[in-house]
Amino acid sequence: MSWLQRDKKGLKNQPRLARKEIPDGLWMKCPSCGEILFRQELEKSLWVCSHCQNHFRVGAEVYLGFMLDEGSFRETHVGLTSLDPLEFKVGGEAYADKLKEAQARSGLDDAVVTGVGSVGGHAVTVAVMDFRFMGGSMGSVVGEKIARAIGDSLASGRPLIIVSQSGGARMQESILSLMQMAKTSALLGRLREKRIPFISILTHPTTGGVTASFAMLGDL
Ligand SMILES: [Zn+2]
């Protein structure tokens, strides 16, 4: 048997969250222990299961709610969407269609939300990735928005917080995705020169090209 095949039941049958990660409804089933949980209680416990301590995967808006002072968030760089320059298609499925579907399902333009807000009264620039949008993958829009958020911190002197949640670079944009790694890393170098703090928060999962660029370059 190939070592790539999984024969352990626990791995194979690991429960997964539905496509829409946090469905609406009063009650929710914990994907780890199967316990039925009251949604309001889950929100109070910051989406951690009270029975098994499983951390639910949450979207960008929930992270922003955790981190920032109430009502302080203002979104920036809205309306950037990918142009699909390669007219990428795989298995009969066009990237352009996948993008539209992801936008409709998540309500996001792409896999990152950027903005400004405050933490304990301190003004910060934030960028929060969202796994719901094509696995949080980084294409040209994600890279550009991260770059612009770094630029905002450079211009204002505000510390930068990036919450990473990503499968890595977006294959549908090929080299355009990969060049975002260099772009964001170079800009973070300028942030460092100016001695502006960058806090990188890694959430499950943070892998691939995102790990190999900005996610690992945090001061903290
Ligand atoms: Zn649980």
Residues within 5 A (CB) of ion ligand 1:
30, 32-33, 35, 49, 51-52, 54
Domains, the chain: 1-56 (no CATH), 59-216 (3.90.226.10)
Give the mean pLDDT of the chain.
91
pLDDT at residue 178 in the model:
97
pLDDT tens, residue by residue, 175-215: 999 999 999 999 999 999 999 999 999 999 999 999 999 99
Task: Using alpha carbons only, give the angle 69, 104, 176 rounded to the nearest 5 degrees.
Answer: 85
- What value does the mean pLDDT take over residues 38-44? 93
Gap from CA of 39 to ligand 1 centroid (Å): 13
CA of 131 to the centre of ligand 1 (A): 20
pLDDT at 6 over 60: no
- Distance of CA 29 from the midpoint of ligand 1 (Å): 8
For the residues 1-27, what does the mean pLDDT come to?
56
